[in-house]
Amino acid sequence: MSTVSTLPKAADIRDALCDAFCSALDVQRLPHGGGFSVGSSAFQVWGENARAYLIQKDDGYCLRDTGLLLPDLAASGVDFSSATRRQALDTLLEDMFARRDESGYEIETERMPLDVAIARLPKFLIGLARIADLALQSTERTASTFKEDVAKLLEENKPKEVRMTQSAPLAAFLKDIPADIVLNKPGRVPYGLWLASSEKPLFWAMLAMAEARRHSNGTPRPRIVALLEHPKVGADKTRTMAANRLDAVRVYEGDQEEAINAIIGSLDDLPSDSSMVAH
């Protein structure tokens, strides 16, 4: 004898969903008064609960983020001044009924009645999570485009005898730290290029340099160079460390042709090393 399960009522599902979303909410009055802090574990921004402020403003209320999201993205190398990223950000802000404030770093809405602000709060929190996700996706996509552009220019302008490989180690002892691009000129040490759209490749390049120096034993070592997508990649301290530790740090944006020419020109200055096996 078969049994047929009875579907719950739509109202019961609605009530259960309301309970789930409500239990995820964290609402606190701001210490200085004039508004509330609203967080929700249902929406995440980089592993933390999305949070917004419901601020009393004149005779209404506005929604505002914590003021940390866009500055953190900028510090990580995300450039919202580029047309593609700016358009993507503006589209998300429009969906949130929001805009960037005059400083350009806070996200806020226009003033509105309290009931409207409360109704729009879930979409505002979702928008913050989507902006964070879009930034991560944009960083990966931009890094890929940057690498493709640089590789294409190098391939078109390098001497014929220079062999170019991508995502390859400079030597056997650097097999776990591959360079983004390796240029091999016959009879010379390899030239490794780390392409930095964020600061992570700079740390990999510095680690590769430390390993190359440790294994050189007085013999010519591979050359290790970083090419920044733009002058503000990463933190100032990280760029300074890279400039002081690597063979060179060059900047691509705004002077692409000279950056590529400088890389190709430096191949003539590589030390000879017939004993080194090119990879």
Domain ranges of the chain: 10-139, 158-269
- CATH classification (class only), 10-139: alpha beta
The predicted pLDDT at position 143 comes to 65
Question: Which candidate, 111, 131, 107, 165, places its Cα nearest to that of 46?
Answer: 131
Domain pair 10-139 / 158-269, same fold: no
- C-alpha neighbours within 13 Å on the C-beta side of residue 109: 30
| pLDDT tens digit sequence for 248-263 | 999 998 889 999 999 9
| pLDDT tens digit sequence for 43-54 | 888 778 899 999
Q: What is the mean pLDDT of residues 157-171?
A: 94
The rounded Cα 257 to chain-centroid distance in angstroms is: 25
With bands split at pLDDT 50, 70 and 90, how would you rate the model's confidence at 113?
very high
The predicted pLDDT at position 109 comes to 95
| pLDDT tens digit sequence for 196-231 | 988 889 999 999 999 999 988 878 999 999 999 888
With bands split at pLDDT 50, 70 and 90, how would you rate the model's confidence at 195?
very high
Task: Give me the percent of the chain exceeding a pLDDT of 70.
Answer: 89
Which residues, at least 6 apart from 97, have a Cβ–Cβ distance to it below 8 Å?
109, 110, 120, 123, 124
Distance CA 168, CA 170 (A): 7
The predicted pLDDT at position 82 comes to 65
Residue 120 has pLDDT above 50, yes or no: yes
Q: What is the mean pLDDT of residues 6-26?
A: 81
| pLDDT tens digit sequence for 45-81 | 877 889 999 999 888 999 999 998 888 877 766 667 6
One of 1.20.120, 1.10.287, 3.30.40, 3.40.1350 is the CATH number of 158-269, namely 3.40.1350
The predicted pLDDT at position 137 comes to 62
Q: Beta-carbon neighbour count of residue 252 at 10 Å?
A: 22
